[in-house]
A and B are shown apart, each in its own frame.
Chain A
């Protein structure tokens, strides 16, 4: 049954009127207009809906909104700060690591989660971290290069 939730998304508190079993994805997209988080499969197989929940990449399509009350949710819209793009966003542009770019938000959020625990990940670690994200256009090598580029930049003193 519908219930009022308090959700912390990208640093802002929102009151949400939703069923606790509703997916976080649907609440983000339909109620908060945060459509950067994408639907791709609804079964946690494609990663297009990835967000950070307390800094850990999670599939928002499989996450009941009731489970994230009191937690810190970061979506693709919350990654840039004061109009300054996150190094991962810069790196995806620099490496042209996209074609249709529908997978891009999920890729960036998965990579952001990785870089928060691993400042200098090996290629193998990047591949492992992103293997659950599908890019149907086939930009995988560029995405790996973008994550490596961002890691370098971030090690150099940026976020």
Chain B
């Protein structure tokens, strides 16, 4: 992040790719690296990428075609074990299980004989990254196609081997059988160790969801035992022989430049190596604690310009527009006279994955291997290749199943830090960020401002709709409701903190504003909030989830006690349809707000793993509750003020309401992803319930970081 002025982004795809300037530019030159590496392999690398030409984390191979050979995706070993290769990664969404189900279904092999290799840049086909709820609609489909093609090829082999007509052959339980000739052989015997070299046909009929036997049903988590016994090795658990622990000396503020260093104390500690390269200062030691002590002993001075603070954040965003747009000019119709307006804001929040960023890097000659927790192993490979001036083929990134990400682990800072230290010490080095580092040096969900103006006619129909999002993003910005005149804009601005992807992206902010304002309009027109929505709805699938949530919740409900309130909200995002009902209890004397119950109805086409889907819906609700009620990143002049779990409040057991989930299974529709969309209705449903309980309209997220002020 070199300057406050950055290139604004188009509305979509918004912030899945990271557009910040890269965190490190090392003075280490190609020649230095070459000296260290010794071997002549680098001479082969004719291409030099100028420093800074590539922004951090930007994948270069967007257009790269997926391999067309079955064998690139699927291997059937002589032991009968099916190995599947996918560049997608597991960060807790349990796609290892849902993708296994897809393969099991189409390949006719029991799930326990299928092993997934995920996110390994050497072994798996290129993948942009695991984000945007794309795994189910794209990779699930791809692996089904691959598996169906493999079965076709196996049937061809069997028909040839047995000299029988192909059309009678049946695939089941890892075998091809011919009921007529009574021939039967396991796949492995037909293949005899050969690769599945054929191409995946463009059109191959897949098993319709109505006939799924493995997919569409709950399946116990793959490798579950390793997780409950502590045996699974997360990125931060990785270890290599002779490994050292690394720590980075952090700048005093964001965007700071190092002006002086005194590392004399650290340098005298036996076993400690200090690495200083430009703005980068790190240490290695034989233990994490020693590395921490050594890093703390290094005295540094930094210079940095004054930076905006949280107290003037929204003023800053409004006054620092990028490429100012003619906001109201898109419509030729004049603004009606009965227009009402409101402004909503969302603050910066942190992903706070329970496993902080971690990486273990090891050089072997001119080859770099990095184990790290990232949603974009191929993107991190690009970053490493660029920073260290080596071809991407020399970099191998592996992604062990990781302790969550929520959009927060797209970039490779930790990998670069570990690799830089490993390069200097010629030993494997592991860097695991502290919680404070994770809260400070990662990136945040963007803050933003949303202005809405609208008018409603005497029949309760929205006539005019104007919606502008400043900085937070364009996802979910478009209203699913009918309005005669619509002006909807994303207005990029300069921004004070490093910002990027977060579960649901700006759809949370945009739904909070839109669905709260729809509630305001409903009250203004004296219509029930659900009835008001129905009058303006044009999407049947959205109507269906509203109806399902309302039925389960018992909408409309009459209040039984003082301080009780009910709210409803919904929306469409990433192919998924969600409606959320919330019940809150507000204690009038103290202003304490408790969410008592949340009912969510969700529809994302044909359901692949019903229990996994419920788990995602529940998790989205709880995570969404944190951002709705109390999560906020406090900052002042380039420093984070609450970078600890004791200061940054995340939802805990006592905050969790009763959660009920209604899943609508549309077997006639393609499966969409589900990790993100269920989060979007949470904040507005709670806000609308608080209004119902108290008459107070809260237009800023988080809504009640310090309780509700009812005085």
Q: Is the interface of B mostly helix, strand, loop or mixed?
A: loop
A19, A46, A79 — most chain B CB neighbours (10 Å): A46
Distance of B50 from chain A, by nearest CB (Å): 38
Contact of A99 with B615 in the complex, beta carbons under 8 Å: yes
Which of B51-59, B221-229, B316-324 lies at the binding interface? B221-229
User: Which positions 647-661 of chain B face chain A at CB distance < 8 Å?
Assistant: 650-654, 656, 658-659
State whether the Cβ of B644 lies closer than 8 Å to any Cβ in chain A: yes
Contact of A35 with B237 in the complex, beta carbons under 8 Å: yes
Chain A residues whose C-beta falls within 8 Å of the C-beta of B234 in the assembled complex: 35, 38, 102
A146 (CB) vs chain B CBs: closest residue: B228
Contact of B230 with A76 in the complex, beta carbons under 8 Å: yes
B237 (CB) vs chain A CBs: closest residue: A35
Contact of B354 with A138 in the complex, beta carbons under 8 Å: no
Q: How far is the CA of A144 from the CA of B655 in the complex (A)?
A: 13
State whether the Cβ of A73 lies closer than 8 Å to any Cβ in chain B: no
Contact of A45 with B644 in the complex, beta carbons under 8 Å: yes
Q: How far is the CA of A96 from the CA of B609 in the complex (A)?
A: 12
User: Given A101-B92, A102-B404, A140-B653: A42 and B435 within 8 A (CB)?
Assistant: yes
Contact of B615 with A142 in the complex, beta carbons under 8 Å: yes
State whether the Cβ of B645 lies closer than 8 Å to any Cβ in chain A: yes
Interface string of B637-675 (1 = CB under 8 A from A): 000000011100011111010110000000000000000
Distance of B299 from chain A, by nearest CB (Å): 23
Distance of B643 from chain A, by nearest CB (Å): 11
State whether the Cβ of A9 lies closer than 8 Å to any Cβ in chain B: no
State whether the Cβ of A148 lies closer than 8 Å to any Cβ in chain B: no
B91, B236, B615 — most chain A CB neighbours (10 Å): B615
User: Given A23-B289, A100-B355, A141-B618: A34 and B404 within 8 A (CB)?
Assistant: no
Contact of B403 with A93 in the complex, beta carbons under 8 Å: no
Q: How far is the CA of A75 from the CA of B228 in the complex (A)?
A: 12
Q: How far is the CA of A71 from the CA of B352 in the complex (A)?
A: 33
Chain B residues whose C-beta falls within 8 Å of the C-beta of A130 in the assembled complex: 653
State whether the Cβ of B267 lies closer than 8 Å to any Cβ in chain A: no
Q: How far is the CA of A20 from the CA of B402 in the complex (A)?
A: 31
State whether the Cβ of B194 lies closer than 8 Å to any Cβ in chain A: no
Chain A residues whose C-beta falls within 8 Å of the C-beta of B354 in the assembled complex: 38, 40, 46, 48, 100, 102-103, 134-137
Chain A residues whose C-beta falls within 8 Å of the C-beta of B227 in the assembled complex: 98, 101, 104
Q: How far is the CA of A140 from the CA of B658 in the complex (A)?
A: 10
Chain B residues whose C-beta falls within 8 Å of the C-beta of A137 in the assembled complex: 92, 354, 404, 619, 623
The one of A34, A46, A93 that contacts B230, using a Cβ cutoff of 8 Å: A34
State whether the Cβ of B621 lies closer than 8 Å to any Cβ in chain A: yes
Contact of B621 with A102 in the complex, beta carbons under 8 Å: no
Chain A residues whose C-beta falls within 8 Å of the C-beta of B355 in the assembled complex: 38, 40, 100, 102
Contact of A98 with B619 in the complex, beta carbons under 8 Å: no
B404, B432, B653, B658 — most chain A CB neighbours (10 Å): B653
Q: How far is the CA of A40 from the CA of B356 in the complex (A)?
A: 7
User: Which positions 20-73 of chain A face chain B at CB distance < 8 Å?
Assistant: 22-23, 26, 29-30, 33-43, 45-46, 48
Q: How far is the CA of A118 from the CA of B232 in the complex (A)?
A: 29
Contact of B224 with A93 in the complex, beta carbons under 8 Å: yes
User: Given A26-B288, A40-B354: A99 and B93 within 8 A (CB)?
Assistant: yes
Interface string of A110-132 (1 = CB under 8 A from B): 00000000000000001100111
B439 (CB) vs chain A CBs: closest residue: A41
Distance of A25 from chain B, by nearest CB (Å): 10
Contact of B228 with A100 in the complex, beta carbons under 8 Å: no
Chain A residues whose C-beta falls within 8 Å of the C-beta of B403 in the assembled complex: 38, 100-102
State whether the Cβ of A151 lies closer than 8 Å to any Cβ in chain B: no
Contact of B644 with A41 in the complex, beta carbons under 8 Å: yes
Q: How far is the CA of A110 from the CA of B267 in the complex (A)?
A: 41
The one of B230, B233, B288, B650 that contacts A134, using a Cβ cutoff of 8 Å: B650
Chain A residues whose C-beta falls within 8 Å of the C-beta of B353 in the assembled complex: 100, 102, 136
Contact of B659 with A93 in the complex, beta carbons under 8 Å: no
State whether the Cβ of B307 lies closer than 8 Å to any Cβ in chain A: no
User: Given A136-B404, A137-B404, A141-B656: A76 and B289 within 8 A (CB)?
Assistant: no
Distance of B274 from chain A, by nearest CB (Å): 21
Q: Is the interface of A mostly helix, strand, loop or mixed?
A: loop
State whether the Cβ of B611 lies closer than 8 Å to any Cβ in chain A: yes
- Count of residues in B whose CB is under 8 Å from the partner chain: 58
Q: How far is the CA of A59 from the CA of B227 in the complex (A)?
A: 20
Contact of A139 with B229 in the complex, beta carbons under 8 Å: no
Chain B residues whose C-beta falls within 8 Å of the C-beta of A34 in the assembled complex: 230
State whether the Cβ of B5 lies closer than 8 Å to any Cβ in chain A: no
Q: How far is the CA of A46 from the CA of B403 in the complex (A)?
A: 14
Chain B residues whose C-beta falls within 8 Å of the C-beta of A7 in the assembled complex: none
Contact of A41 with B621 in the complex, beta carbons under 8 Å: no
Q: How far is the CA of A114 from the CA of B593 in the complex (A)?
A: 29
Chain B residues whose C-beta falls within 8 Å of the C-beta of A29 in the assembled complex: 237
Chain B residues whose C-beta falls within 8 Å of the C-beta of A40 in the assembled complex: 354-356, 435, 645
Interface string of B199-241 (1 = CB under 8 A from A): 0000000000000000000101100110111111110110100
Contact of B288 with A43 in the complex, beta carbons under 8 Å: no
State whether the Cβ of B94 lies closer than 8 Å to any Cβ in chain A: yes
Chain B residues whose C-beta falls within 8 Å of the C-beta of A89 in the assembled complex: 225, 228-229
Contact of A96 with B220 in the complex, beta carbons under 8 Å: yes
State whether the Cβ of B142 lies closer than 8 Å to any Cβ in chain A: no
Contact of A138 with B622 in the complex, beta carbons under 8 Å: yes
Contact of A30 with B233 in the complex, beta carbons under 8 Å: no
Chain A residues whose C-beta falls within 8 Å of the C-beta of B652 in the assembled complex: 131-132, 134, 140
State whether the Cβ of B620 lies closer than 8 Å to any Cβ in chain A: yes
State whether the Cβ of B706 lies closer than 8 Å to any Cβ in chain A: no
Q: How far is the CA of A80 from the CA of B147 in the complex (A)?
A: 37
Contact of A35 with B233 in the complex, beta carbons under 8 Å: yes
Q: How far is the CA of A104 from the CA of B432 in the complex (A)?
A: 19
The one of A75, A103, A131 that contacts B654, using a Cβ cutoff of 8 Å: A131
State whether the Cβ of B287 lies closer than 8 Å to any Cβ in chain A: yes
Contact of A45 with B230 in the complex, beta carbons under 8 Å: no
Contact of A41 with B435 in the complex, beta carbons under 8 Å: yes
A33, A42, A92, A99 — most chain B CB neighbours (10 Å): A99
Q: How far is the CA of A43 from the CA of B648 in the complex (A)?
A: 13
Q: How far is the CA of A131 from the CA of B353 in the complex (A)?
A: 17
Chain B residues whose C-beta falls within 8 Å of the C-beta of A45 in the assembled complex: 644-646
State whether the Cβ of B181 lies closer than 8 Å to any Cβ in chain A: no
Chain B residues whose C-beta falls within 8 Å of the C-beta of A4 in the assembled complex: none
Contact of B404 with A99 in the complex, beta carbons under 8 Å: yes
Contact of A138 with B229 in the complex, beta carbons under 8 Å: no
Contact of A30 with B287 in the complex, beta carbons under 8 Å: yes
Contact of A93 with B220 in the complex, beta carbons under 8 Å: yes
Chain B residues whose C-beta falls within 8 Å of the C-beta of A46 in the assembled complex: 354, 435, 645
Contact of A39 with B432 in the complex, beta carbons under 8 Å: yes
A45 (CB) vs chain B CBs: closest residue: B645
Chain A residues whose C-beta falls within 8 Å of the C-beta of B406 in the assembled complex: 136
Contact of A79 with B623 in the complex, beta carbons under 8 Å: no
A33 (CB) vs chain B CBs: closest residue: B239
User: Given A40-B435, A137-B404, A139-B618: A100 and B91 within 8 A (CB)?
Assistant: yes
Q: How far is the CA of A20 from the CA of B353 in the complex (A)?
A: 30
A135 (CB) vs chain B CBs: closest residue: B354
Distance of A63 from chain B, by nearest CB (Å): 14
Chain A residues whose C-beta falls within 8 Å of the C-beta of B239 in the assembled complex: 33, 35
Distance of A79 from chain B, by nearest CB (Å): 7
Give 8 closest A-B pairs by Cβ, nearest first.
A36-B230, A100-B92, A138-B622, A102-B403, A138-B619, A76-B230, A45-B645, A35-B237
User: Beyond the given A85-B229, A102-B234, could you list 17 further A-B residue pairs with CB under 8 A, ordered by the A residue number?
Assistant: A26-B288, A35-B237, A36-B229, A37-B230, A46-B645, A85-B225, A96-B611, A99-B619, A100-B91, A101-B227, A104-B228, A131-B654, A133-B653, A136-B404, A137-B619, A139-B615, A144-B653
Q: List 22 A-B contacts (CB under 8 A).
A: A39-B432, A40-B354, A40-B435, A43-B646, A85-B229, A89-B229, A92-B228, A93-B220, A98-B227, A98-B228, A99-B92, A100-B402, A102-B353, A102-B404, A108-B228, A131-B652, A131-B653, A136-B623, A138-B619, A138-B622, A139-B618, A141-B658
